[in-house]
Amino acid sequence: MENKDTAVEEGDTMADKATIIVHSGDMDKIYSALIIANGALAMGMEVSLFFTFWGLQRLKKGGLEKGPLSKMHMLGLGKWMVKRKMTKVGVASLEKLLQDFNELGGKILACDMTMEIMGIRKEDLRDDLISDYCAVGTYVNEARESSITLFI
């Protein structure tokens, strides 16, 4: 692959890269996204997280821990219970996972259309962590050459 930004030719090979759309803002899904992302980085992959819709809410200042569970009342496992158990078994907080992701070289992309729709300004977001504000074209360019593509 001589030029990463040109269109992938029919029959081209894939890069060792993961591109994940984080559409959901649910706490358990943000955990899944970051655990997969950090695992992939630790194993030498390139990783991009593209935050959109409810997911982008989690990148607002103070917003990371504010997501609900995707299944609130199942098994009586409430949100704070899950967090307490996670700490107990040694899973890092979302904040720590996000910082690690950034330090390990992961790329955080914010969907600018979501910002417009939801009236989110750059100053509302954790600008220090965001690599780029972009649209679907950037996502497609990353995803089309990624060996792992997920929508969470």
Distance, in Å, from the CA atom of 34 to the CA atom of 136, rounded to the nearest integer, reads: 21
Do 56 and 110 meet the contact criterion of CB atoms below 8 Å apart? yes
Stretch that binds a second copy, among 42-50, 97-105, 126-134 (CB under 8 A): 42-50
DSSP letter string over 128-143?
GG--EEE-HHHHHHHH
Do 138 and 19 meet the contact criterion of CB atoms below 8 Å apart? no
Stretch that binds a second copy, among 29-37, 92-100, 101-109, 122-130 (CB under 8 A): 29-37
Site membership for a second copy, residue 107 (CB under 8 A): no
Give the number of C-alpha atoms closer than 13 A to the C-alpha of residue 46, restricted to the C-beta side. 13
Mask of contacts with a second copy, 66-105, x by CB under 8 A?
--x-xx--xx-x----x--xx--x-x--------------
- The one-letter code for the residue type at 125 is L
> CB of 39: closest distance to a second copy in angstroms?
3
Site membership for a second copy, residue 13 (CB under 8 A): yes
Distance, in Å, from the CA atom of 145 to the CA atom of 134, rounded to the nearest integer, reads: 18
Which residues sit at the interface with a second copy, rule CB under 8 A?
1, 7-16, 18, 21, 23-25, 28-29, 32, 35-36, 38-40, 42-45, 52-54, 57, 68, 70-71, 74-75, 77, 82, 85-86, 89, 91, 113, 116-119, 135-137, 139-141, 143-152
